[in-house]
Every structure is written in structure tokens, then in C-alpha cells.
Amino acid sequence: MITDTPASETLSRGAAKRRAAQRESGRRAALRWWAQPGVLIFFTALAIAAVGWGLVIRASQRIPVERATLDGLSLEMEEARWILDQMDHGENFQKPSVMMPDMPDWGKQRVTLDLAFQNHAAEAKIYDGLEFFLVPEEGDEVSPIGAQVGRAQIGPGQSFNTAIHFDFDTSLPHGKLRVEWRRGENSAFFAVPEPAEHYHLRPRGGEVALPPDARLLLPIGKPERGEGLYMAVYGCVACHGDPATPDSNNVGPHLAGIGNAAETRIDGVTAPQYIYESIIEPSAFIAPECKGGLPCSEPTAMPEYASLVNLQDVADLLAYLLELEG
């Protein structure tokens, strides 16, 4: 038997369905709160802030320090110095390798780091030169070079001093330079000074200040050792030739008789002063005659040995050259 549903009951059912639909719509809207414009803006700003803080923290970790301790091993970088004027004379010429043994490739400069370690741990620690990197702001990091990179064991309470070297192309954009010491999961950064100027970019001028006698500043010189330095170690013979063989010079002036000639080159400048200054700062004086009697090039093609030789070597070279009286 079919009966009719009262109109009031039909309306009641319709209202209930509408209320249910409204509740479902509200529930779905609540689930999509994250999609609201204000919420999206808030979380976007929060994400940007998080990235920014991450960059700040990372940058703060790269702030250079004077000393650091990693894994119980303390390090102080006592000095970072660029070797001046090595192989690059720009408009002059590329020097033969015998002149500058073990020097950087053409176009690069070398920075040397003097490092002092101390082991504060109760057990021995290993120094490893390969834990160090020269890190530019722009460009690729550089690993150390040279025989002293090596490894060494440092006992509890012991100290250890060494030097490491980096050859770096300073002609490329690089920004600030730092040395990074990576030990395990941790790192420490040390500042590196601006690279030395290339010789041909450095202006000339100014007065030369010399001591009364350069030998007062030096150890006692040994001429026989100085001859060995001249002939083999520093490769002076490659450009200046053998003083005992006439016209054996290549680029620089022949030095036969320099012990006497140096005395008369500059008024008021003695032979020891003249030769000493010519080794340490070759641009101070320009010799009057080079290969074949031609004028010597200006600026000089000779490297500045100030950052390459120690005082004993200078004293020995000076003693040897002063004996070349012709």
C-alpha cells in the first residue's frame, strides 16, 4: 500500500541534508587552513627566515680565527706570507726554472703558512698537512704543495712547528682568501693577507735607505758556501754566468770584478751595501751593462730574493761576490 509522506517531514529531511552539507563543507575548509593566503604568506616568510639564519650560521662558522682547537689538537697560525715577485715580470720574460728552483708555475704566486701545534689531549695526535685547504670566496679551493705537507705524530703535551705552502693564481677573481683546517667533522678558518703585488704593477720611487755597512746586519759570511749557493742553489749562474768565464752571462750583467765595480756605482754607497741591496731589492739599482754590452732592462728582470733567502745565505753570497775583484 502506497502512502503519501507529509510535507512537513519532507521539509525536515531537506533541512537536515543542508545542515549536513554545511558541516562537511566547514570540515573540508578547516582541513585546508594551510591553503589560506595569510597562512601561506606566514609560512613562506618563516621558510625564508630559516634559510637566512642558516646562511648566517654558516657564514659565522667561516669567520677566521687566530687559533683553534680541533680533536684535542691546538693550532696557531703564526704567519702567512706571500713570496714576492717570484717568476712574474710581466713585460720582461719568463725566467728559466733553474733560476727559481721549486717555484710556482708561471702566473701563480706562493703563500707560506707557519703553523704551531700543541697536543692538549691525553693520547697522541696525528698532524696531516692534507687537512688544510686554501679557500677563495670565488673559484676552486687549493690543496697544499711541497715536501712538508706530510704527516707527523704529536705526543701528549708536545708541540710541533711546520710550514705548508699553496700555489695560487692570483690573477683570477678570488675575493677574500682563507685557509680551512678540516679535522673530522669540524673546521676552523684562518685569515690570509692580500696577495703580494706583481713586480711590474708596483710603482718605483722613493729613496733607498741603507745601513752603514750591510754586513753589520748579517752573520759572518762564508765565501766558499756562497759560491755553492750562486752556482747551484739559487741558480744565479743561469743569468749572470760563471764569473770565471767571460761573456757567460745570459740576461743579467756578468759579475766578474763586481767586488770592485760595486764600490763606484753609486756615490756614497759602498760595495757591501750595493751588492746586499741588489740581492734583496734588485730594483734599487740598475746595472749599467748586461749581455753584449747592452743596457740592462728596467725594471730589472731579477727576482726579489728577500722572501726566499735567509740571513746566512745572504751573508755567504755577499762574501763570495765581494771576493770577485777582477
Considering Cα of 133, then 181, then 135, then 201, what sign does the dihedral take? negative
For residue 79, the model assigns a pLDDT of: 83
For residue 214, the model assigns a pLDDT of: 66
Question: What 3-state class would DSSP assign to 138?
Answer: coil
For residue 230, the model assigns a pLDDT of: 92
Question: What 3-state class would DSSP assign to 148?
Answer: coil
For residue 193, the model assigns a pLDDT of: 83
Q: What is the pLDDT along the chain (326 residues), one digit of tens a residue?
A: 445 555 555 556 666 666 766 676 666 555 555 555 565 566 666 667 665 554 444 444 468 888 899 999 999 988 888 875 444 444 444 455 455 556 676 667 888 888 899 999 999 999 898 999 999 988 999 999 864 567 889 999 999 988 888 988 887 888 889 999 999 889 999 988 877 654 433 433 334 444 556 666 677 889 999 999 999 888 889 889 999 998 898 888 999 999 888 888 888 788 888 888 888 878 778 888 888 888 888 777 787 777 677 788 888 999 999 999 86
For residue 56, the model assigns a pLDDT of: 43
For residue 59, the model assigns a pLDDT of: 44
Q: What single-letter DSSP state applies at residue 214?
A: G
Question: What 3-state class would DSSP assign to 290?
Answer: coil
For residue 284, the model assigns a pLDDT of: 76
Short-list 138, 130, 126, 95, CA closest to 251: 95
Q: How far is CA 211 from CA 67, 216, 261, 304, 323, in A?
A: 37, 8, 19, 19, 21
Short-list 43, 40, 21, 41, CA closest to 32: 40
For residue 226, the model assigns a pLDDT of: 92
Residue 321 grid cell: 761576490
Strands 177-183 and 132-136, bridge-based pairing: antiparallel
Q: Which amino acid, 167?
A: D
Short-list 108, 188, 201, 121, CA closest to 156: 121
Domains and CATH numbers, the chain: 67-200 (2.60.40.4170), 213-322 (1.10.760.10)
For residue 290, the model assigns a pLDDT of: 85
DSSP strand E in the chain: where? 67-70, 73-82, 109-119, 125-128, 132-136, 151-154, 159-168, 177-183, 186-191
Burial 194-217 (b: 16+ CB within 10 A, else e): ebbebbeeeeeeeeeebeeebbee
For residue 45, the model assigns a pLDDT of: 67
Short-list 61, 64, 293, 43, CA closest to 192: 64
Residue 241 grid cell: 754566468
For residue 202, the model assigns a pLDDT of: 40
CA distance 81 to 132: 16
For residue 141, the model assigns a pLDDT of: 93
